[in-house]
Amino acid sequence: QVQLVESGGGLVQPGGSLRLSCAASGSIFSQNVMGWYRQAPGKERELVALISSGGITNYAASVKGRFTISRDSAKNTVYLQMNSLKFEDTAVYYCYYRVFAPNMDYWGKGTLVTVSS
């Protein structure tokens, strides 16, 4: 099993910034993908950004140019730097961890990001 612990959520004004962190512990695999999903009020959970153990990234179109995902493999930690935040970014953000052979998904409990004036 893999445990994911998120931190960094909070209340920010439009145009502000936050950095989310997620640390993984437990049965860690060298080949993995880590990232972030979010669920806004009244909407389905959606992809925000992913990063593989090889450094390949994938972003939702709505956050490209504003958010940056990175990782520290030695610490089994993934980060999401969020800049130029908008009202539409308000959501619960969930850390995501995927391993392969066999394929398994793990989720954090979520951290709330509220963008409000």
Reported confidence tier of residue 73, pLDDT bands at 50, 70, 90: confident
Q: How confident is the model at residue 98 (pLDDT cuts 50, 70, 90)?
A: very high
What integer pLDDT is reported at residue 37 of this predicted model?
98
What is 33-90 written as a DSSP string? EEEEEEE-TTS--EEEEEEETT--EEE-TTTTTTEEEEEEGGGTEEEEEE-S--GGG-
The answer, yes or no, to whether residue 28 has pLDDT greater than 80, is no
Which residues, 6 or more positions from 46, have their beta carbon under 8 angstroms from its beta carbon? 37, 38, 39, 60
Does 9 score more than 80 pLDDT?
A: yes
User: What's the maximum distance between 2 C-alpha atoms anywhere in the chain?
Assistant: 46
- Per-residue pLDDT of 84-97, as tens digits, reads 999 999 999 999 99
